[in-house]
Amino acid sequence: MGLVTMKTRDDSLRIGDLASMFGMTARSIRYYEELGLLKSNDRTEGIHRRYPGRNVIYLKRIKQLKAYGLSLGEIKEFFDLAEADPSGERCKAMLVRTYEARIRAEEEAIAAAKARLDELARQADLVRAAGSFFSCPGEDCAGCPDGEFCDYSSFLDELAAPPEGASGAEGGEGTAEGDGAASGGAE
């Protein structure tokens, strides 16, 4: 059985009836009206707001556009354009452009998510192949492609390098041969 709503003879709806049709609160309906997305008739019958039946169509469109990720501000732009362009062609073209931009953004997000999934799968393969949890960094890491994340290779390079100051003992700075003060110029 469908939802029974109270309509007046001019096909307008009370705020509560309109709200319940869409699972919304009366406050949301009033907020949409404040934004200019919905239109109410003058208050009649003891200060109750009445909303013309066309607001049902407006609310369906608002819910659809919100579901596609548009903000209320963007939706307001569409409603304003639709009001200014009774043919609807400019609004239709703007909506198509907006949807196409959203499609591109979603495709980029999907590609980024796919890259993350591929990287996680690769990391899972590396962990499966490792000798233990503590194998990395370690012997299992030789030739590991994760140089940007793993500093094992730079650690090995540091171990292979001579200690600081050791290179100076072989005739460089600070030795008796290269220091004029040590020889004192006395020959």
Local confidence pLDDT in tens for the 187 residues of the chain: 444 444 445 678 888 999 999 999 999 999 999 999 998 886 655 667 788 999 999 999 999 999 988 999 999 999 999 889 989 899 899 999 999 999 999 999 999 999 999 999 988 887 787 767 666 655 556 566 665 566 655 666 676 777 776 655 454 444 444 444 444 444 4
Note the pLDDT of residue 80: 92
Structural domains in the chain, CATH included, are: 1-69 (1.10.1660.10), 135-162 (no CATH)
- The pLDDT value recorded for residue 76 is 95
State the pLDDT at residue 11: 79
- How much is the pLDDT for 77? 93
Distance CA 33, CA 38 (A): 5
Q: What is the pLDDT of residue 122?
A: 86
Alpha-carbon torsion, ordered 32, 36, 41, 44, to 10 deg: 50
Q: What is the C-alpha R_g of the chain?
A: 36
pLDDT, position 157: 67
Q: In the chain, what is the greatest distance between 2 CA atoms, to the nearest angstrom?
A: 123
Copy the structure tokens of residue 26: 């009366």
Report which of 60, 59, 63, 65 is spatially closest to residue 78, judged by C-alpha positions.
65
- Alpha-carbon distance of 37 to 31, in angstroms, equals 9
Residue 5, pLDDT score: 47
For residue 61, the model assigns a pLDDT of 93
Query: Nearest to residue 24, comparing CAs of 77, 79, 87, 66?
Result: 66
Q: Write down the residue that tokens 């609807």 correspond to.
A: 88
The answer to whether the Cα torsion of 139, 145, 147, 149 is positive or negative is: negative
Tell me what pLDDT residue 129 has: 75
Spatial neighbors of 74 by CB under 8 A, at least 6 apart, are 65, 98
Write down the pLDDT at residue 149: 60
pTM of the full structure: 0.57
